């Protein structure tokens, strides 16, 4: 599942190639692609065509495009969830259709189309209202902060917390809420209402950087440990962004179809049996929430009061 860096790479591509263009036509080619749009594909088309893609915005793993009238009045937002294999691609209008093409947007400037390709059909599109939220709006990456939609998010995203790269992320509040939970620290990181955009890969990498075991009880984390954890998250996500994301699955690509290569720089995730880059201990793998968790037994010893 793409995490924050992968979704941000896609967002930047959409911002470069699509923002400011007017949708001439929208076509949804598979019934599952609009399953999150309750009113159905015809309604999604009607609420998209003739509108301007005003911005490309992300909160955590969620990506959306505010839609506006030509006069600049915000109307709705088109939310794109990539799922496990979703791809947003910018393609020439006459390029052959991809095998798993699910949606196509054409624009009135007759330049490149935007296409949604999804082999496993876990992703989807919904056109939804923008709503105000208690934390003051977006504050995330790349949005136009003076635009009429800057204090709003799509309704399905309203419960999602800000992410560690958000300029308005509250470090002190994160530490406080982390200590209020009664779980292991990695489970808390995967809770998108505490901090968004973090999945299995970057949780493991950040915990390794902070020298914390994934089963450390959240109630026992100190302010210094919470700060180290946030620093680890920001460090690994920033590095992954620079590398174009992590492409364990060849289906993750940017809008031009290129894969990321941060997997070459991972310290522990997927490195079972290999030496830790810091201390040389062999990386271990444990079963975790129907997945795997990777850590270093030397740098990240199991705490005496582990919360499994």
pLDDT tens digits, one per residue of 31-57: 999 999 999 999 999 999 999 999 999
Q: Does pLDDT of 25 surpass 90?
A: yes
pTM for this one? 0.88
Catalytic residue among 2, 5, 41, 164: 2
pLDDT of residue 141: 47
Catalytic residue among 11, 61, 115, 187: 61
Q: Stretch 259-277: mean pLDDT, rounded?
A: 90
Task: Return the residue matching tokens 């294999």.
Answer: 85
Catalytic residue among 3, 91, 106, 143: 3
Torsional sign, CA 148, 154, 159, 165: negative
Residue range 69-107, pLDDT digits in tens: 988 887 899 999 998 889 999 999 999 999 999 999 999
Tell me the pLDDT of the chain averaged across its residues: 90
Q: Is 2 a catalytic residue?
A: yes
Q: Is 3 a catalytic residue?
A: yes
Q: And the tokens for 55?
A: 């911005």
Residue range 183-203, pLDDT digits in tens: 999 999 999 999 999 999 999
């Amino acid at each position: 599942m793409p995490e924050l860096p992968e979704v941000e790479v896609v967002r930047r591509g959409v911002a470069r190639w699509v923002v400011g263009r007017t949708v001439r036509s929208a076509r949804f080619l598979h019934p599952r692609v609009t399953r999150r749009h309750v009113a159905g594909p015809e309604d999604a088309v009607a609420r998209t065509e003739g509108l301007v893609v005003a911005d490309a915005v992300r909160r955590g793993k969620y990506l959306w495009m505010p839609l506006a009238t030509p006069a600049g009045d915000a109307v709705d937002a088109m939310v794109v969830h990539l799922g496990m294999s979703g791809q947003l691609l910018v393609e020439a209008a006459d390029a052959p259709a991809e095998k798993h093409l699910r949606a196509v947007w054409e624009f009135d400037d007759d330049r490149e189309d935007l296409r949604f390709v999804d082999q496993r059909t876990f992703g989807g599109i919904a056109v939804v209202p923008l709503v105000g939220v208690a934390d003051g709006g977006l504050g995330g990456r790349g949005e136009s902060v003076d635009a009429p939609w800057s204090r709003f998010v799509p309704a399905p995203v309203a419960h999602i917390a800000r992410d560690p790269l958000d300029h308005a992320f509250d470090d002190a509040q994160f530490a406080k809420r982390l200590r209020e939970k009664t779980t292991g620290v990695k489970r808390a990181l995967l809770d998108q209402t505490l901090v968004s955009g973090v999945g299995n890969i970057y949780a493991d990498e950040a915990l390794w950087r902070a020298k914390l075991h994934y089963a450390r009880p959240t109630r026992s984390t100190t302010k210094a440990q919470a700060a180290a954890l946030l620093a680890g998250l920001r460090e690994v996500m920033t590095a992954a962004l620079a590398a174009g994301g992590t492409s364990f699955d060849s289906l993750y690509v940017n809008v031009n179809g290129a894969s990321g290569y941060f997997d070459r720089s991972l310290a522990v995730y997927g490195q079972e049996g290999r030496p830790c880059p810091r201390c040389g201990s062999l990386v271990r793998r444990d079963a975790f929430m129907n997945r795997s968790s990777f850590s270093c037994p030397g740098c990240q010893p199991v705490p005496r009061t582990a919360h499994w």
